[in-house]
Amino acid sequence: MILVVGATGRVGGMITQRLLADGRPVRILVRPGSHHEALVEAGAEAVMGDLKEPSSLRAACRGIQAVVTTANAAGRGGPDTFQTVDDEGNQDLIEAAAEAGVGRFLFTSVLGSDPDSAAPLLRAKGLTEQRLRASGMPFTITQADAHMDLLIPLVVGIPLGRGEPVRVIGDGSRRHSFVAQQDVAAFTVAALDHPSAENQVIPIGGPDPLSWRDIVAAVERELGRPIPIESVPVGERLAGLPDFVTGLLTALEMYDSPLDMSQTAALYGVELTPLAAWVREAFARAPAA
């Protein structure tokens, strides 16, 4: 039995669906009021719980052979913060899994995670990685680069819908290996039982390093019209975007992350999604002018 924490999120849902399609028994940790009915209908066993409630985590881990967690507090509010969910919640989950004798713990992290980072999400991810390495459990950490599905709709899609310029932090030339979330899910499922993945950190990216100017150009080609770009100085907030997104984009402006994914994709049998294909599907219904 595999426990998926974060199954009602985008990547967690994709992972759960892939596992169920492979005939794997899956238990999902869900909170009251979450929309998990489709996963239960597909064959998942749902247990109520919350990363902020350690006793529920111990109950969820009983009889589990592997844990996969994608849960994070991004976009939430109230008591759900990077501190309470990504930091303390994941710490409690690791302890519950170790206590239950779980045979593999797979943590979906992000490229650039660092326990000393000024960005709360990157800091929490880095702390969780440290704790997982020290837990004594067999583990796999996947570090995904920037998610196409998360950032492109926010940075490009929202301004387009409003008829505004696309605003990027810096000059938009930093290059990162933007990756489709379906590919993150595919790598996660493939790594779960792969002998090469045990006690390893696996950086995950797309097929090509891309700058924001590359991405905007791809959307321009798809829509058949020019898209104006405005540069925003580092440290200035991007209006209309959540603070955690501005923080993440600011962190991405500090470095380049061009990954060569050819060997990793071949090893895990994942066919990477090119930017043009992702843009074609994502912007298919956008007006051409």
pLDDT tens digits for range 141-169: 999 999 999 999 999 999 999 999 999 99
Verify that 159 and 80 share a domain, yes or no: no
CA distance 182 to 84: 27
In sequence order, the 6+-apart residues with CB closer than 8 A to the CB of 223 are 283, 286, 287, 288
Secondary structure class of 26 (helix, strand, coil): strand
Whether 22 shows a pLDDT value over 60: the answer reads: yes
Helix (H) or strand (E) holding 158: helix 158-162
Q: Looking at the whole model, is its pTM more than 0.85?
A: yes
Strands annotated E in the chain? 2-5, 26-30, 45-48, 66-69, 104-110, 139-144, 166-169, 200-204, 229-232
> Would you say 187 and 142 are in contact if contact means Cβ atoms under 8 Å apart?
yes
Q: Cα separations (Å) of 268 from 45, 194, 197?
A: 27, 8, 9
Verify that 41 and 167 share a domain, yes or no: no
Inter-residue long-range contacts of 37-41, CB under 8 Å, 24+ positions, other chains counted: 39/7, 39/8, 39/13
**In the prediction, which pLDDT does 247 show?**
82
* Residue 268 domain-assigned (yes or no): no
Verify that 138 and 158 share a domain, yes or no: no
Residue 85: which CATH number? 3.40.50.720
Secondary structure class of 272 (helix, strand, coil): coil
Verify that 172 and 251 share a domain, yes or no: yes
Q: Percent of the chain, pLDDT > 90?
A: 80
Write out the two tokens for 202. Answer: 């696996």
pLDDT, mean of residues 204-217: 97
* Residue 198 domain-assigned (yes or no): no
Treating both helix axes as pointing N-terminal to C-terminal, what angle do 275-282 and 212-223 enclose, rounded to 10 degrees? Answer: 50
Burial of 53 (0-12, 13-18, 19+ CB in 10 A): middle
Domain that holds residue 213: 148-176+207-258+273-282
Residue 222: which CATH number? 3.90.25.10
Residue 240: pLDDT band (50, 70, 90) is confident
* Residue 199 domain-assigned (yes or no): no
- Tens digit of pLDDT for each residue in 82-129? 889 999 999 999 999 999 999 999 999 999 899 998 888 889 999 999
Residue indicated by tokens 């004798």: 101
Secondary structure class of 18 (helix, strand, coil): helix
Secondary structure class of 263 (helix, strand, coil): helix
Average pLDDT, the chain: 93
Verify that 95 and 223 share a domain, yes or no: no
Write out the two tokens for 235. Answer: 């440290």
CA 250 to the chain's CA centroid: 18
Verify that 53 and 130 share a domain, yes or no: yes
Verify that 49 and 88 share a domain, yes or no: yes
